[in-house]
Structure 1
Amino acid sequence: MISSSVNAAQSAGSGKHSVPDTGRLVELLAQVAEADRAAFHLLYQATSRKLYGVVLRIMKRQSLAEEVLQEVYLRIWNRADSFEASKASPITWMMTIARNRALDEVRRRTPELDDNSEIEMIADGSASSPHGRAEVSQALGRLQTCIDGVGGQQAQMVKLAYLDGLSREALATRFSQPVGTVKVWLHRSLKQIRACMAEVLS
């Protein structure tokens, strides 16, 4: 049921989409918590474009975003009974699940970034408050300075890998280097960037 709707969510991509009112989503989640598949289908139709946008901003690749979106809705199905309307709105609760699952996948694919909160913040890019946007902008400036300090192809490679989402294989082809060399370059570059970030923030 989920996979048959992913393409619809993707094709809607940049179009405006109004999410149903909070009360209706609360009702649907309550029904999903009781394993109501019809309610789950309606919930998916109502919110999938919004959650797909959240995931795509983080994953940056449509094929990966589609896979993660399906997993997000499986989590929503399994966790619907834990939703508490007194603590968060339904769409905020679901967007949090989507964001966390996408970031988990980014970490899994790039484990060397697990402790790099600055890059994670920029990869997310979904801050909605002025304060959040200011933090992202400041982090981007700090990170850009440190990446530029790496210099040469290594700096380009870091940007393509962690800000544009290119795989190690794609980088190897682009830079005419073995995959093993790409991994070594990224590892060394990240160590230098972390040291630079620590100095800037100290």
Structure 2
Amino acid sequence: MSGSSPVVCFRALVQHIASGGKGKAKIRWPSGAPALHLLNSRFRKGRNLSQPLIEEHIARTATGDREAFGRLYSLTSAKLFGVALRVLNDRAEAEEVLQEVFVKVWRNADRYRANGLSPMTWLITIARNAAIDRLRRRREGQAELDAAEVVPDPAPGPEAHAVAGSERERLAGCFGELERDKAEAVRRAYLGGETYAELAAAMDVPLNTMRTWLRRSLLKLRECLDR
């Protein structure tokens, strides 16, 4: 939605909230300088945002008034985008955080008066915390990548080779406890990849007999290795 107007972006956000707010809203703020595009005329001229007006819009948003929510968005989105951008220094991530912020505002507007903060302080706190959470997740992800880069070489060392050699000796000893034809059948089935039918034909025994041989031989091998 590159180049979309703030109105189109807001409609997409409202549709996302109306659908339950699950997942990420597929919204892209205007290209170029999003913060400038989102400023209303009052803010562009450098005037202070009207705290009583913002407080009124928050109160009406708490009742489910989408028109008031839209006005709240129009008044504050540029400021909150700037807060997120200063923390993250990444426009795309700041855009996503702004989406998260307004979803939280929609869901939690009824809690505003209980926190004792001014309306803009409350909104900025939500934006800053969301941006910090995003930054923390980004750093944790990078730390995991850095850790992956220093994982030791998985190639077996001398101790692993010694253990493997000991296991091979035990397995060879257990094979020695099987009857010769049954040991051969197990090797050819599980090491050579021959099918039961191929083995039965090659060793001139019924197919069911071959299945029984292999099942019982495997049980004996397991018992031997468990000793």
TM-score, normalised via structure 1 length: 0.51
Aligned counterparts of 1:90 and 1:68: Cα–Cα separation in 2: 19
1:38 alignment partner in structure 2? 67
1:62 alignment partner in structure 2? 91
SS at 1:6 equivalent: coil
Given the alignment of the two structures, is residue 21 of structure 1 paired with residue 45 of structure 2, yes or no? no
Please say if residues 35 and 82 of structure 2, whose CA atoms lie closer than 8 Å, have aligned partners that are also in contact.
Answer: no
Sort the Cα spacing of 1:58 and 1:86 in 2 relative to 1 into closer, same or farther, 3 A. closer
Larger Rg: 2
5+ unaligned residues in a row in structure 2: which ranges? 1-10, 14-25, 151-227
Look up the equivalent residue of 2:70 and give its one-letter code. H
The alignment covers a number of residue pairs equal to 121
2:105 alignment partner in structure 1? 76
Deviation by residue 1:30-69 (Cα, 9 ceiling, x = unmatched): 0000010010000000001100000000111101110110
Given the alignment of the two structures, is residue 12 of structure 1 paired with residue 36 of structure 2, yes or no? yes
Sort the Cα spacing of 1:79 and 1:52 in 2 relative to 1 into closer, same or farther, 3 A. same
Please say if residues 30 and 81 of structure 1, whose CA atoms lie closer than 8 Å, have aligned partners that are also in contact.
Answer: yes
Please say if residues 19 and 47 of structure 1, whose CA atoms lie closer than 8 Å, have aligned partners that are also in contact.
Answer: no
Aligned counterparts of 1:92 and 1:100: Cα–Cα separation in 2: 12
Identical aligned pairs, as a percentage?
37
Sort the Cα spacing of 1:96 and 1:23 in 2 relative to 1 into closer, same or farther, 3 A. same
Please say if residues 54 and 119 of structure 2, whose CA atoms lie closer than 8 Å, have aligned partners that are also in contact.
Answer: yes
Please say if residues 35 and 81 of structure 2, whose CA atoms lie closer than 8 Å, have aligned partners that are also in contact.
Answer: no
Aligned counterparts of 2:112 and 2:80: Cα–Cα separation in 1: 17
Matches within 5 A, 1:178-189: 183-184=146-147
Instruction: Report deviation, 1:24.
Output: 0.6
Aligned counterparts of 1:11 and 1:86: Cα–Cα separation in 2: 28
Q: What root-mean-square deviation, in Å, do the aligned CA atoms of Structure 1 and Structure 2 show?
A: 3.3
Deviation by residue 1:67-104 (Cα, 9 ceiling, x = unmatched): 11011110011010000177111000000000000111
Aligned counterparts of 2:108 and 2:90: Cα–Cα separation in 1: 26
2:128 alignment partner in structure 1? 99
Deviation by residue 1:91-145 (Cα, 9 ceiling, x = unmatched): 0000000000011111112128xxxxxxxxxxxxxxxxxxxxxxxxxxxxxxxxx
Aligned counterparts of 1:104 and 1:21: Cα–Cα separation in 2: 29
Look up the equivalent residue of 2:81 and give its one-letter code. Y
Given the alignment of the two structures, is residue 50 of structure 1 paired with residue 74 of structure 2, yes or no? no
Please say if residues 19 and 46 of structure 1, whose CA atoms lie closer than 8 Å, have aligned partners that are also in contact.
Answer: no
5+ unaligned residues in a row in structure 1: which ranges? 113-166, 169-178, 188-202
Instruction: Report deviation, 1:18.
Output: 3.8
Q: Which has the higher helix share?
A: 1
Aligned counterparts of 1:21 and 1:90: Cα–Cα separation in 2: 10
SS at 2:30 equivalent: helix
Instruction: Report deviation, 1:184.
Output: 3.8
1:90 paired residue among 98, 119, 136:
119
1:111 alignment partner in structure 2? 140
Please say if residues 26 and 85 of structure 1, whose CA atoms lie closer than 8 Å, have aligned partners that are also in contact.
Answer: no
Aligned counterparts of 1:20 and 1:85: Cα–Cα separation in 2: 22
Q: After the TM superposition, which of the residue ranges 5-14 and 79-88 deviates more from structure 2?
A: 5-14
Task: Pick 1 or 2: higher relative contact order, CA cutoff 8 A, min separation 6.
Answer: 1
SS at 2:113 equivalent: coil
